[in-house]
Amino acid sequence: MTYRFADLTAACHNEWRAYIEHDFVRLLGEGTLEEDAFRHYLKQDYLFLIHFGRAYALATYKSRDITELRHSLDGLKTIIDVELGLHVEYCRQWGISEEELAALPEARATMAYTRYVLDTGNRGDLLDMHVALAPCLVGYAVVADWLNSRPETVRGEANPYEPWIAMYESDEFQAARRAEEAWLDARLAEVTPRRFEELTTVFRDATRLEIDFWQMGLDRSV
């Protein structure tokens, strides 16, 4: 059997849908998410991005050839040199200063997911790490698709979270999602059924931790 990324989401259907259709996402799309909840999420997402960069640094180390090395290094540079700066600017628009971000303690949900990704990468190979990151790398683009499929989603100036939705439905982010899915498809096509079961466990656990990250924002938990 030849496996693809879609087989991972099918194998973890309940967890995947609970993540994509979480109340945090639904309320954000309807424009009714409480602003304090969104600010809490934004702050923790900054810390997540830092560890995301660390994960790509580990992926660079784990790379076995020049193509993988360049791919991982490009991801690391994009996160550190571009995405973090954009996130800091977006936080500033929500009244969150860079100084406040730098002094933040990590919420337990942030620690759980980011350390899981790093531990998975340390224990496994590059494919393990990409599968652990897929709920974020691919999932946010799927979240944007789901929001746009819902008649209840409010678009435009009437929704204070319009820029967030626009970010993840953008051509650039959707292209990155397709590139990541293609990377995963190419490597999943070579795995055995037993290996696919192992990767399914990684994907399911990572998706559960992403669900907890949404819930952390909704509950403002630390």
Per-residue pLDDT of the chain (222 residues; tens, 9 = 90+): 899 999 999 999 999 999 999 999 999 999 999 999 999 999 999 999 999 999 999 999 988 899 988 988 888 888 888 889 989 999 999 999 999 999 999 999 999 999 999 999 999 999 999 999 999 989 999 999 999 999 999 999 999 999 999 999 999 899 989 999 999 999 999 999 999 999 999 999 999 999 999 999 999 998
Query: Shortest CA distance to 144 belongs to which of 12, 9, 25, 8?
Result: 25
CB 56 within 8 A of CB 114: no
Q: Determine which one of 15, 180, 181, 210 is catalytic.
A: 210
Query: Could you confirm whether 91 is annotated as catalytic?
Result: no
Q: Where are the domains of the chain?
A: 5-219
Q: How far is CA 197 from CA 18, 111, 131, in A?
A: 21, 25, 12
Query: Could you confirm whether 136 is annotated as catalytic?
Result: yes
Q: Which residues contact 60 (CB under 8 A, 6 or more apart)?
A: 69, 72, 73, 76
Q: Quote the CATH superfamily of domain 5-219.
A: Heme oxygenase-like (1.20.910.10)
Is 179 strand, coil or helix?
helix
CB 118 within 8 A of CB 60: no
CA–CA–CA angle 205, 12, 8 (5° rounding): 95
Q: Determine which one of 136, 157, 172, 197 is catalytic.
A: 136
